[in-house]
Structure formats: structure tokens, C-alpha cells
Amino acid sequence: MMFASTESMKKSYAVVESLMTLYQAQLTSKGIHSNNDLVQTIAIDFEKIMHALLEVRNQTSEWVIDDLFGTEHPIGAYAKSLLKTPKLFHVGLEVYEPLDVVLYGFEQWIKRSRAVLGMDIHMSRHLRFPASLAFQQRVGAFTEIVRLWLKVDDEQLMLELFDIHRPAQTRQSGTNTRNLNLLLNNKGVYPDHDLAMRKLFADDKIWHYALELQSADKVDALHQEVLVLAQQNPIYRVVYPHPVHNIQDLSYHTKIINTATQTEVEFVADKHH
């Protein structure tokens, strides 16, 4: 963390102390036992979130599909034809802090960003809900999700943060690239972004890109096509035997992994459309 003065450092550590007291049970269950553990965890989560925001801002749905399927296989063109929008729906990732602490941190980060950078940034809304039973069975633990819609200048960016109720297997630091000004004001260009992504997300087994399809029927159709592809080419894995309907947020999705590139993509639609 970077602080402007000794006074601000004292204030920041007072906040950490209060968080440790207020959320002791949740932090302990996540394997965070000391002020230093929490400071390190906040820093790593912050870095993951910043680089995930870059991905949401800069990558396109077609790029993700090419990364998943390659450019030669006809299923790539088919998947592109089902897209609702060229923009990413979200990037999903595991956070190592409890969601209460993450949401508190976002409020502080937004205040600081406005004051220091003069950016027009705010959280449009957030939605918090339990993960689907299929996902909880996948990771072997109760999991909460929060979707955050952030408006940065004129862009609306969405992240999906997963709080898996267990100690993180690892808390992998990236490249200490936490300069807000560069991340959000430099047209999305960040030195060593690709390297930071590889380091930060190497041990995050559930991080993924989410692409929005035109309807739930399109999700079903693509799911069936990829089941056939996975039988022919074992580098592809369909995460769930059937598409998942999450009654909490009314989403309907399937997830596909390219195990050769470690790319996971969720194809999602609103169940009502």
C-alpha cells in the first residue's frame, strides 16, 4: 500500500485493526489471523481486481472465443453468432477477504480515487447472493458471490467476486502494480499487465471470462455443441453436465475450460429472455 504520510499510515492501520475486530470470525475462517495477514490480503485482492477491470475494459467477446477455441475450429464462428454484445459481461475471480471487508474497501477506494485522481467513478450497484449448488459442489465449500457494477468515467464495468468460505490455498502476489492513475487513466495500458495476470491468477482455479448470449436457448445449443467437441478433443472440458440456472440472480449458464491454455469461459443469458 502507498500512503501519503505517517498520519495517513496510522489511520490506515487503525482501520485494519477495527476490521480485524469487527470481522474476526469471518477473517479467521479465511485463514487471516493478524493485521499483517489482512494488509497483505487486501493488497493482493486489490491488485487482482485492478487487473481484472483492465480485462473487462479492454478485451472483446470475440477475442475470448478465439482464445478458447482457436481461430480454425468452426465452433468459434458459431459461438460468435450467438453473442448478445461484443463487450465482456464480466470477469469472475476469487477474493481472499470476506465480502464484507471487500465492500468496505471498495467504498474507501472509490473515495480515494475521486479525491486523488479526480476521476468520475462510482459503484452503480451491487448484487450479493449465494453461488449455485453446482458451483459449491465444484469447490467443496459454501460460496458467496457479489457482482459489482462500476462506472469509470463513461464506461460501465462489471466484476463477479467469489468468497469461498475456506482459507485460500495460496495468496499469490503479482507484480505490485497498484498505481490507480496508470490502471484507469492511461487508456487501459499497463506495464506488465499480462505478466501480472499470469502471476496473480495462476492459483485461482475459478477465475473466468463471462460472455452474454442472446437467450437461454442459445446457451443450451452451445452447451450441446461443446459436449461433442469435448468428446473429440480432450483438451476441452465442460464444467457442468447441464447448464446451471441460478435462481438467485436468474442467470443461466454453462462453463467451458480449455485445459491447454487454462482459459475458462462462462456463456450466460438471462433465463427470462
Write down the mean pLDDT value for the chain.
Answer: 85
Tell me if 164 sits within 8 A of 119, measured CB to CB.
no
Higher pLDDT, 213 or 54: 213
Higher pLDDT, 18 or 114: 18
- pLDDT at residue 80 greater than cutoff 60: yes
Higher pLDDT, 238 or 11: 238
Cell numbers placing 247 = 435462481
* Percentage of the residues of the chain whose pLDDT score is greater than 90: 54
* Percentage of the residues of the chain whose pLDDT score is greater than 70: 84
Higher pLDDT, 231 or 181: 231
Distance CA 60, CA 42 (A): 28
**Ramachandran region, residue 112 (left: φ > 0; alpha: ψ -120 to 50; beta: rest):** alpha
Burial (CB < 10 A; 0-12, 13-18, 19+), residue 196, is: buried
For residue range 166-217, what is the model confidence (pLDDT) as tens digits? 887 666 554 454 454 555 554 545 567 788 788 889 889 999 999 999 999 9
Task: Give, in degrees to the nearest 5, the angle at Cα 107 between 103 and 113.
Answer: 135
First to last CA, the chain: 44
Architecture of domain 6-270: Roll (3.10)
Q: Please tell me the predicted confidence (pLDDT) of residue 2.
A: 45
Residue 172: CB atoms within 10 A of its CB come to 16
Amino acid at 133: L
Q: Please tell me the predicted confidence (pLDDT) of residue 237.
A: 96
Q: Please tell me the predicted confidence (pLDDT) of residue 177.
A: 46
Going by C-alpha positions, the residue among 169, 156, 161, 126 that lies closest to residue 49 is: 161
CA distances from 260 to 67, 81, 142, 212, 263 (A): 11, 24, 29, 24, 8
- pLDDT at residue 50 greater than cutoff 50: yes
8-12, 86-90, 229-233, 261-265: range with lowest mean pLDDT:
8-12
- pLDDT at residue 235 greater than cutoff 80: yes
- pLDDT at residue 117 greater than cutoff 60: no
Q: Please tell me the predicted confidence (pLDDT) of residue 15.
A: 87
Cβ within 8 Å of residue 77, ≥6 positions away:
none
56-70, 99-113, 173-187: range with lowest mean pLDDT:
173-187
- pLDDT at residue 220 greater than cutoff 70: yes
What integer is the mean pLDDT of 94-112? 85
Question: Helix (H, G, I), strand (E, B), or coil: what is residue 208?
Answer: strand
For residue range 25-48, what is the model confidence (pLDDT) as tens digits? 999 999 999 998 898 888 888 888
